[in-house]
Structure 1
Amino acid sequence: MAKPRKKGPQKTVQIYCAKCKEQLYKYKKGGKGALVKCFKERIVEDYTMSEGICPNCNQQFARDALIRGAPALKMIGGKVNMK
């Protein structure tokens, strides 16, 4: 399977916890669809203490995964919002 493109996308989005509205990541997202996964190499700023867990409300919002041979976080539906 193909890996994600080396030249990352230009669009940067902020990812927030859906429960407490705490900012979790700044992420370079490609495409215009829903946020399903976050490739770790595209995360610009990480505001979490432990991977996939909100620092404010301790809710798990993502699981560690290997997608197309690249490390990623697979988002749990309805746990995050993006702007």
Structure 2
Amino acid sequence: MAKPNPKGPSSSVAISCARCRAPLYRYRKGGKGALVKCFKARISVDHTEVPGVCPGCGGQFARETLIRGMPAFKIIGGKVRVQ
């Protein structure tokens, strides 16, 4: 399978926790679909101390995994908001 383009799209979105609304990431997302995964290479600003855990409420919002050979976060459904 082809690897995703690490540079990715130029537009970025703000990702925050759905429970406490603490900022989590600034992410260069492509397409109009729902946020299912975040490639680590496309995260421009990271507000988390522990990967996949919200700094505000301490809830887990993602799991670390490899997708198409690249490290990524698999987002747990309903745990994040995209603006």
* Per-residue deviation, residues 5-57 of structure 1 (Å, max 9, x unmatched): 24410110000000000000000001110000000000000000100000010
- Which residue in the other structure is 1:44 paired with? 44
Normalising by structure 2, what TM-score?
Answer: 0.97
Provide TM-score, normalisation by structure 1.
0.97
Q: What is the Cα-based RMSD across aligned positions, in Å? A: 0.7
> How many residues end up aligned between the 2 structures?
83
- Structure 2 equivalent of residue 27 of structure 1: 27
Q: Note the residue ranges of structure 1 that are not aligned, 5 or more in a row.
A: none
Give the % identical residues: 61
CA distance in 2 between partners of 1:24 and 1:81 (Å): 10
- What is the CA–CA distance in structure 1 between the aligned matches of 2:68 and 2:38, rounded to whole Å? 12
Distance 1:41 1:67 in 2: 12
Contact 2:52 2:61 in 1 (8 A): yes
Structure 2: gaps (5+ residues): none
Stretches of 4+ moved more than 2 A in 1?
none
